[in-house]
Amino acid sequence: MWSSSATALTAFFLLSNSVSAITTTITQTTEVVYTTIQPAPQTKVVYTTVQAFQESEDGKVYLPAPPKPVSAAAISSKAPSISTKIPSGIFFSGYASGSGLPTGSGLHFGTGTGGIRPTGGIPRNNTYSTVTVRRIRTASGQSSASQSSTPNTLSAVIPPASSTKPTSVASLPKSSSTSATRASSTVAPKPASTGIPFLRGVNLGGWLVLEKWMNNEAFSGAFSSASDQFTFDQLPGAAAALEKHWSTFFTEDDIKTIAATGINALRIPIGFWAYDNTNTKYLKGADVYLEKAIGWARTAGLKVWVDCHGSPGSQNGFDNSGKAGAVDWQQSQNLDASISVLKTMATKYGSNKYADVVVGLQMVNEPVSWGNSKIETTQSWTEKAYNAVRAVTENKNMMIVMHDGFVGAGKWTDLATKIIGSGSKTAFGVDTHLYQVFNAEDKVLTQSQHITKACSWSNDLKNANKVMPTFVGEWSPATDICVNPDGSTTAGTSCSAKGCQCQSGDFDKWNDQMIEQVRRFTEAQLDVFESSSSGYFMWAAKGPGGWGFLNGIKKGVIPNPVTDRKYPGQCGGKKRREVRGNLGREAEAW
């Protein structure tokens, strides 16, 4: 008796309508041994179950209760049959556009419904094992499937849990070179996603572009004199220090932790110098870690928005551009250099190799529109840059995004209409940043007034979002308030009353009243973003005190999962589900 190496089959069922209560991974391990004298295989079947994050009808992401044991009898009628002649090549007329596993952020949905047909047979002297079936129950019992990336696999149609009109499609991933599959296995290419999901994200700020207020450890010791990335990179030992920072500040474990909170996207800032540092004093190498992060995101089921955070000449004079001080981005040579770098980035991240994970490329972050920098110049350049970048982007579904230049997304609707034309509305999007901690007018507000102001953002976001995908690329729970023992709030960063505490104080010592007030403001903002935009990204995943998403999750000032609410309805209005239907479904966003 003998057998060849095992072959794995993985088919993932994805919803074709709204999710109800449970998502279960049923792993059926089937060991089949063929002999030269026995015509029928002998099988042994073992069943196990795993739960996954799912989104309920009210739009909340949750982890279902621990599963009950699944018996073989319960799903035996649904298991794929194994015969002595198994098709080694499968063609299908429809494609599954989603490639991600179900995560806390929602699901991707198959768009293909074509049938399959075998194109060949495999000799019987093979062992086939490990069939993983992901079944998601829906009200109507419908389901669909998309391919996995497991090598050395065969594919088959597996009936949904209960449906008179099955629409599931399973496809054949690329197989490695084995004698059993090399002869007749044919793989249809997986097409790029045709939509942008609603993005619930965080920024990986302070990682690939240094900001001193966020990176105290990096700017210590021999680097304490540096004020930004530009001055940091010129100091002795900078290359080794950067390598240490890049390899430790964010890791794959951090990405897994973020994904477990219902976040489904990462906005990753990176400087132009990572791709072209000619005639500059910047050090290269950050793009290697961006590549790592994209891989981590893909594994975790997250989308990535690549953000060119620092542009040639500095677009704002802030340290987040790489160089604080003069604002020279609008000089013609710098505008041209910016387009050149963006074309390099778009050629790479806009290729079909990244189509399953990279959904957006941001051309510039926070270009100012005051002093010698004019919004008219920024918008004229945007149209030119968009056309140049789009021309080299293989994945036409990747969105090209521009920051609003601090004039508001509504000032971009005419240009967006011109750029988009009759094409896909996912082609061009606008990023606006909404904070209530930097301007003098915000520093005199109580927390209830901060919440009222956050609620007022809804109309502007909603009106812009009707014309073009509008994202809140940065926001924060931070405000300058103090909380009294009775729970009332006052504006400021200090107070003298006994038992009074200010948000600017030690984050680790925040009391319950402070946590409640910050949580209220956070939820109000999230409600507005959910109902009126195409997505949002908190600044930042890691940061000092309340500026850190992961800190906020631990402290309880940020919902976990992010769709949970302790204080619902602060801004009134409709939930996103009522506006656009199922969350997490790619077709719903645009």
Q: How far apart are CA 498 and CA 494, in angstroms?
A: 12
Q: Are 482 and 500 in contact (CB under 8 A)?
A: yes
- In the numeric block, which tokens belong to residue 145? 């499937």
Question: What residues are paired with 202 via a beta bridge?
Answer: 266, 538
Per residue, the 3-state secondary structure of 422-454, as one string, reads CCCCCCEEEEEEECCCCCCCCCCCCHHHHHHHH
474 is catalytic: yes
In what side-by-side order are the strands of the sheet with 501-502? Answer: 489-491, 481-483, 501-502
Q: How far apart are CA 481 and CA 485, in angstroms?
A: 13
User: Residue 514's closest CA among 473, 557, 468, 471?
Assistant: 557
Buried b or exposed e, range 95-131, using 16+ CB within 10 angstroms: bbbbbbbbbbbbbbbbbbbeebeeeeebebebbbebb
User: Letter for the amino acid at 561?
Assistant: P
Annotated catalytic residue, options 366, 516, 586, 588: 366
Annotated catalytic residue, options 57, 383, 394, 474: 474
User: Residue 454's closest CA among 527, 504, 518, 514?
Assistant: 527
User: Letter for the amino acid at 276?
Assistant: D
Q: How far apart are CA 335 and CA 412, in angstroms?
A: 19
Catalytic residues: 366, 474
